[in-house]
């Protein structure tokens, strides 16, 4: 039977260079940005009589919880943000590229950046919309097309 090799017990060489400070772990580095809240504690923003939303914003992504009452219309618009919409309740018609796509509760639609689209609520609906990057126009209040205050 062979004897297992043993590691040398020589002392490590000392370096004349200073060591860089230890980096914080990824979890600790992002701890200041960690958010965990119930939707009930997030401000419900009334945009117009038929449209309300709540926002959760991260560094590179935004989640919007959007309430659309029957007959609510989000006018034709486009943005540089990629969008994924998950209809959790109700039914929405997305008008995109000359087509009307009905998206019902339990269905998802992915809208590429810069693609013009319009939305209409067929019945009271709730949608979770994800945007990458976050919608700066929504965060700054420059979203007059949703508030019904757009200059014509």
**Residue 102: per-residue pLDDT:** 98
Distance CA 59, CA 114 (A): 21
pLDDT tens digits for range 70-81: 999 999 999 999
- Kindly report the pTM of this predicted structure: 0.77
Distance CA 10, CA 60 (A): 49
Burial of 132 (0-12, 13-18, 19+ CB in 10 A): middle
CATH class of 45-145: mainly beta
E strands of 1-152, at which residues?
Answer: 45-48, 51-57, 62-68, 73-77, 82-89, 91-96, 99-104, 107-111, 117-121, 125-132
**Residue 2: per-residue pLDDT:** 55
Give residue limits of the domains in the chain.
45-145
């Amino acid at each position: 039977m062979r004897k297992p090799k043993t590691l040398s017990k020589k002392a490590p060489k000392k370096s004349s260079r200073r060591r860089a400070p230890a980096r914080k772990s990824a979890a600790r580095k992002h701890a200041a940005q960690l958010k965990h809240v119930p939707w009930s504690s997030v401000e419900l923003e009334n945009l117009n009589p038929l449209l309300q939303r709540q926002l959760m914003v991260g560094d590179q992504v935004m989640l919007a919880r959007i309430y659309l009452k029957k007959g609510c219309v989000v006018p034709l618009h486009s943005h540089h943000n990629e969008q994924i919409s998950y209809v959790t309740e109700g039914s929405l018609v997305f008008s995109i590229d000359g087509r009307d796509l009905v998206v019902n509760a339990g269905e998802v639609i992915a809208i590429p950046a810069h693609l013009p689209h319009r939305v209409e609520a067929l019945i009271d609906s709730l949608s979770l919309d994800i945007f990458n990057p976050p919608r700066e126009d929504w965060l700054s209040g420059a979203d007059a097309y949703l508030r019904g205050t757009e200059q014509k």
